[in-house]
């Protein structure tokens, strides 16, 4: 403060006064980054752009929003408090294939500011064979893979059938190679023929096969499988031996070389006989 009159001016002593703190602003939404796993989510963040004082702690929480598995409970666990220098946190013991809403807010001595939220979906996991909500596939693999099949880019296996758990209210027998077509409405596959389903063709008696039961869970982003070999079918006759083209080529070259040598020898003999007759 400065006092003045016609005779002059005088200043008062300087006084330093600090304004009180307030609740902080929210954590910047654009700074929130999450890395999902099957049963964990790693969350990163930055300090509020307007701390309005000294940040003393962060409060984080999560809650389930929706799940691909209806049996998973979507309860809200308790809150977690972190120190002011924290910049990341690992949410553990989560469920696969569940969308969680992650929430974080900062605090000064005056209290907590508004929360920033982010929805993150954990990765799905491979299903168990016993029971799950997905699809079952019967996979047939030809053993060994023939040269013609491999060279043409053909797959060594095919799907004989695909069925959802709702199509199997109780255990049912399934015959691999029954020459039937099985409908499948849940998942698409390259083995579907003109949208009619999966053809289960007869097995060739002179080939060996491995038979698998494969469970599939799928979302718009990814698919996971669990495979179990059930049986092996052996050839009932001697397998057809398909010669290796490389060996065939070597054999043809050898035969051609021997034939040429024999022809040269015969020509030499004929020339010798003609010379003898002239003498």
- pLDDT over 90 (residue 262): no
CA–CA dist 68, 216 (Å, integer): 13
When comparing pLDDT for 85 and 255, which is higher? 85
Q: How does pLDDT run across 221-244, given as a tens digit for each residue? A: 677 777 777 888 887 765 555 555
When comparing pLDDT for 250 and 74, which is higher? 74
How is the chain split into domains, by residue range? 23-121, 135-233
Q: What is the pLDDT of residue 105?
A: 96
- Helices (H) and strands (E) counted in the chain, each on its own, are 2, 16
Q: How does pLDDT run across 193-205, given as a tens digit for each residue? A: 444 578 888 888 8
Q: What Rg value do the Cα atoms of the chain yield, rounded? A: 39
Query: What pTM was estimated for this model as a whole?
Result: 0.57
- pLDDT over 50 (residue 44): yes
When comparing pLDDT for 60 and 143, which is higher? 60
Q: What is the pLDDT of residue 206?
A: 81
Instruction: Mark 237-267 as b/e (b = at least 16 C-beta within 10 Å).
Output: eeeeeeeeeeeeeeeeeeeeeeeeeeeeeee
Helix or strand run (H / E) with residue 150? helix 147-151
**Class of CATH domain 23-121:** mainly beta
Q: How does pLDDT run across 68-79, given as a tens digit for each residue? A: 777 787 777 778
């Amino acid at each position: 403060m400065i006092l003045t009159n016609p005779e002059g001016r005088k200043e008062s002593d300087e006084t330093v006064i600090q304004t009180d703190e307030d609740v902080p602003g929210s954590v910047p939404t654009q700074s929130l980054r999450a890395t999902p796993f099957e049963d964990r989510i790693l969350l990163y963040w930055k300090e509020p752009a307007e701390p309005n004082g000294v940040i003393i702690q962060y409060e984080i929480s999560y809650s389930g929003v929706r799940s691909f598995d209806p049996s998973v409970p979507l309860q809200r666990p308790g809150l977690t408090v972190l120190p002011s220098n924290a910049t990341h946190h690992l949410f553990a013991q989560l469920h696969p294939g569940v969308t969680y809403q992650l929430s974080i807010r900062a605090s000064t001595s005056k209290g907590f500011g508004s929360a920033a939220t982010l929805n993150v979906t954990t990765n799905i996991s491979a299903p168990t064979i016993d029971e799950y909500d997905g699809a079952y596939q019967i996979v047939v693999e030809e053993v060994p893979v023939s040269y013609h099949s491999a060279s043409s880019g053909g797959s060594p296996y095919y799907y004989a059938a695909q069925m959802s758990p709702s199509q199997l209210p109780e255990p049912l027998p399934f015959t691999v190679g029954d020459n039937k077509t099985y409908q499948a409405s849940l998942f698409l596959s390259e083995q579907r023929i003109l949208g009619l389903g999966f053809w289960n063709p007869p097995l060739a008696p002179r080939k060996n096969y491995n038979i698998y039961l494969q469970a599939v869970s799928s979302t718009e982003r990814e698919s996971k499988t669990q495979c179990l070999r059930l049986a092996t079918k052996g050839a009932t006759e001697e397998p057809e031996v398909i010669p290796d083209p490389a060996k065939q080529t070597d054999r043809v070259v050898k035969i051609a070389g021997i034939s040429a040598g024999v022809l040269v020898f015969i020509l030499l003999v004929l020339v010798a006989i003609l010379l003898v007759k002239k003498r």
